[in-house]
Structure 1
């Protein structure tokens, strides 16, 4: 069995900076959700407004949108970070650029979803989806490049 000494590219700091910036997108979601909760009048521990509340009160509806946007972010951030950190080992500059695109797209997604409901998330979704898919493909390629050569 062969072993490898893993060297991190000098540009890997860009990758780590983008990874760290994604943590602030979660904080942005938190702030949007707190604002929407306060405006809706829904108190803790209520996680979502009921269907009836959301249909009657636009503020309750937007609170549900803020909650769902944050949940969606939390669902996607781990795979994004994994793809970013792996792909960055072989393609640090491209990974950092795509990662920055994902962070931008997810910020746009959050702002759009929380201000105008599901239709407002579309443009941010497409940006983040394309960047995320490219990072995942690059992560697989980076892994293959590190396989032992026969």
Structure 2
């Protein structure tokens, strides 16, 4: 049996990873849903066609929102796990970096969907999230090393 003792200040780690990150996912989904009808993209289609985008600016905006959401989903689960595990050893740092990741993801979403830059290039506004995600991953490896016998 393995006992996991959580640090006293682990609450913010849980709040970021299991509260705020899923909340941002809900925001993503809400934005995509709100743009679907103006874009004239019926279910089950995930994206507007190139032709639709050429004739309807809302279709391009919908595609940007959908891609931002997909990118979020591609990264959220591992970031949640990295934050939870890294927080076992570095609770304040993990919660802080996780909160920074959230802020950058919100900027990424805003830039991608609402900046008006062509081809979603406004997403670069929050692109630093990759570095923060990498830091959480590295911290997780540090925890793994501490738990290993090698």
Give the TM-score of the pair, scaled to structure 1: 0.91
Whole-Å separation in 1 of the counterparts to 2:134 and 2:66:
24
Map 1:1-150 onto structure 2 (within 5 A).
4-19=2-17, 20-115=19-114, 116=116, 117-126=119-128, 128-148=129-149
Deviating 4+ runs (over 6 angstroms): none
| Local SS of the residue matching 1:80 | helix
Structure 2 gaps, min length 5: none
Q: Are the aligned partners of 1:32 and 1:114 in contact in 2 as well (CA < 8 Å)?
A: no
The whole-number CA distance in structure 1 between the counterparts of 2:22 and 2:107 is 15
Structure 1, unaligned stretches of length 5 or more?
Answer: none
CA separation in 2, counterparts of 1:49 and 1:69? 14
* Contact kept in structure 2, 1:86 and 1:139, CA below 8 Å: yes
Q: Distance in 2 between the 1:4 and 1:23 partners?
A: 28
Task: Work out the CA distance in 1 between the residues paired with 2:92 and 2:136.
Answer: 12
Contact 1:49 1:61 in 2 (8 A): yes
